[in-house]
Amino acid sequence: MDFSLTEEQLAFQHTARCFARERLLPNASRWDEERHFPAEELRAAAHLGFAGIYVDEEYGGSGLSRLDAALIFEELAAADPSTAAFLSIHNMVAWMLARFGDDSLRMRFLPKVLDGDHFVSYCLTEPGSGSDAAALRTRAEPHGNGHYRLNGSKAFTSGGGVADLYATMVRTGEDGPRGISCVVVEKGTRGLSFGKPERKMGWNSQPTTSVTFQDCLVPVQNRVGAEGEGFRFAMMGLDGGRINIAACSLGGARACLEAATAYVKERRAFGRTLGDFQSLQFKLADMATELEAARLMVHRAAVALDERAPDATLRCAMAKRFATDICFRICDEALQLHGGYGYIKEYQIERYLRDLRVHRILEGTNEIMRVIIARKLLEAA
The pLDDT of 348-371, averaged and rounded, is 97
Domain-embedded: residue 277: yes
Residues 68 and 130 in one domain: no
For strands 165-171 and 120-123, give the pairing: parallel
Residues 40 and 73 in one domain: yes
The pLDDT of 254-282, averaged and rounded, is 96
User: Is the separation of the CB atoms in 155 and 110 below 8 Å?
Assistant: no
pLDDT digits (tens, 9 = 90+) for 98-137: 999 999 999 999 999 999 999 999 999 999 887 788 889 9
Residues 71 and 133 in one domain: no
Q: Which helix (H) or strand (E) holds 279?
A: helix 278-306
Domain-embedded: residue 256: yes
pLDDT digits (tens, 9 = 90+) for 293-325: 999 999 999 999 999 999 999 999 999 999 999
Domain-embedded: residue 218: yes
Residues 241 and 364 in one domain: yes
Mean pLDDT estimate for the chain: 96
Residues 253 and 359 in one domain: yes
Residues 139 and 115 in one domain: no
The pLDDT of 79-86, averaged and rounded, is 98
Domain end (from 226, 245, 269): 226
Residues 145 and 265 in one domain: no
CA pair distance 195, 345, nearest whole angstrom:
29
CA pair distance 67, 163, nearest whole angstrom:
27
CA 251 to chain centre: 12
* Higher per-residue pLDDT: 255 or 134: 255
Domain-embedded: residue 209: yes
Residues 357 and 219 in one domain: no
* CATH number of the domain enclosing 33: 1.10.540.10
Residues 134 and 110 in one domain: no
Residues 199 and 302 in one domain: no
Residues 270 and 315 in one domain: yes
Rg (CA), the chain: 21
Domain that holds residue 277: 231-380
pLDDT digits (tens, 9 = 90+) for 225-237: 999 999 999 999 9
pLDDT digits (tens, 9 = 90+) for 19-77: 999 999 999 999 999 999 999 999 999 999 999 999 999 999 999 999 999 999 999 99
pLDDT digits (tens, 9 = 90+) for 168-195: 999 999 998 999 999 999 999 999 999 9
Domain-embedded: residue 1: no
Domain-embedded: residue 2: no
CA pair distance 84, 91, nearest whole angstrom:
11
Is 363 noted as a catalytic residue in this protein?
Answer: yes
Give residue 132's pLDDT.
Answer: 81
Domain end (from 191, 226, 261): 226
Give residue 346's pLDDT.
Answer: 92
- Catalytic position from the list 333, 350, 363, 379: 363
CA pair distance 322, 294, nearest whole angstrom:
7
Domain count, the chain: 3
Domain-embedded: residue 199: yes
Helical pair 66-77 and 230-266, crossing angle rounded to 10 deg? 40
Query: How large a percentage of the chain has pLDDT more than 70?
Result: 100
Give residue 380's pLDDT.
Answer: 85
CA pair distance 181, 233, nearest whole angstrom:
9
* CATH number of the domain enclosing 346: 1.20.140.10
Give residue 146's pLDDT.
Answer: 93
SS3 54: coil
Single out the residue of 206, 171, 209 nearest to residue 193, CA to CA: 209
Domain-embedded: residue 196: yes
CA pair distance 11, 95, nearest whole angstrom:
23
Give residue 13's pLDDT.
Answer: 97
pLDDT digits (tens, 9 = 90+) for 141-168: 999 889 999 999 999 999 999 999 999 9
Residues 144 and 180 in one domain: yes
Give residue 73's pLDDT.
Answer: 98
pTM of the predicted structure, to 2 decimals = 0.96
